[in-house]
Amino acid sequence: MATFFENREIVVPGQLLAEGRYRSSFGTYVSADDEVFSALVGLAELRGNTVRVVPLHGVYIPREGDRVIGTITFVAGNNWKVDIGGPYGASLHANNALRKPYDDDISKYYDVGDVIAAEVATYDRTTGPYLSMKGRGLRKLKGGTIVEVSPAKIPRVIGRKGSMINMIKDKLDIQAMVGQNGRIWIRGGDLDSLQIAKKAFKMVAEQSHTKNLTDRVAQMIDEELAKLHENDENEETEETSALEDGEEVEDEEEMEEVNEE
């Protein structure tokens, strides 16, 4: 009975993590002699007597109950085919998405190219993932933009009890929805805050294995916002007022759409 790593140490595939009666969890495997090895490059963690490795990279592997953000790629009878990233395409049956009775032509509701938030209803290795859209907040995502990060980084993007994502949302005054498949949908605010949000998510993804990340991301956002305000003050004196009017109108439209939902 011994472990051979410090908590949250970076380990590599084939590295001996523990021997004796330890339980092997995600990212690890056990040899015939009860030795636990790492199967991934990641951060090793011991919880109780369970050893696991939090990956630093990897594709999205669906799990039941995951909330994902996908793009409709095909409308087939009463099914939609949905790209959710990773090696497997998903399907969404109209019965799991719409209230009955629904029209025969389901492309009325969601069509190719639409972005949806859905939940993985069932998945095993023999059948592809099946999605469901019955649930709170599961809907078509109108407008906005999508930032893609590695699915392995999503826990860090959310943070402990949502600390990271809520901080970014509050500071920049935007809406955001995070899918377990590594896609983050953001909308609202102005273009500049969306740009800063993108930068913030990329920063989280790149430095997910370092400490005090939330504080540093917050600091980065503050600095960027400060820069923006400086620029605004300069621009206000230089730009013509006609352009500003145009921008304001656009902003109002955007607000209305948000309020509808």
Partner 1 sequence: MSPGEEKPDYLINPEGLRLDGRRPDEMRPLELKVGDVIRNADGSASIKQGNTYIVAAIYGPRELHPRHLALPDRAYLRCNYRMTTFSVPDRKRPAPSRREREISMVIRNALEPALFLEEFPEAVIDVYIYVLQADGGTRCASINAASLALADAGVPMRSLVPSIAVGKADGTLLVDLGDMEDKYGGGDVPMAIIPHTESITLLQQDGSFTREELLEAMRMGINACKVLHERQKDAIKRAYVREPGDDDDEYEDDLEDDLGEAAIPGED
- Six-digit token string for 3: 């472990």
Binding track, positions 123-162, relative to partner 1; x by CB under 8 A:
--xx-----------------------x-x----------
Is 74 a binding residue for partner 1 by CB under 8 A? The answer is no
The residues in 23-52 that bind partner 1, with binding defined as CB under 8 A, are 27, 29, 31, 37, 39-41
Binding track, positions 208-237, relative to partner 1; x by CB under 8 A:
-xxxxx--x---------------------
- Where is 186: in which H helix or E strand? strand 183-187
Among residues 73, 91, 132, 207, which is the contact residue for partner 1, using CB under 8 A?
207
Is 167 a binding residue for partner 1 by CB under 8 A? The answer is no
Kindly tell me the burial class for residue 105, based on how many C-beta atoms sit within 10 Å of its own C-beta (0-12, 13-18, 19 or more).
exposed
Query: What secondary structure does DSSP assign to 80-136, as a single string?
Result: EEEE-SSS--EEEEGGGTSPSS--S-GGGTS-TT-EEEEEEEE--SSS--EEE--ST
- Distance from C-alpha of 100 to C-alpha of 2, rounded to nearest angstrom: 58
Is 86 a binding residue for partner 1 by CB under 8 A? The answer is yes
Q: Are 201 and 159 in contact (CB under 8 A)?
A: no
Among residues 6, 7, 13, 235, which is the contact residue for partner 1, using CB under 8 A?
13
- Find the shortest distance in angstroms from Cβ 162 to partner 1: 22
- Distance from C-alpha of 59 to C-alpha of 152, rounded to nearest angstrom: 8
Using CB under 8 A, list all residues that contact partner 1: 10, 12-16, 27, 29, 31, 37, 39-41, 55-59, 61, 86-89, 125-126, 150, 152, 207, 209-213, 216
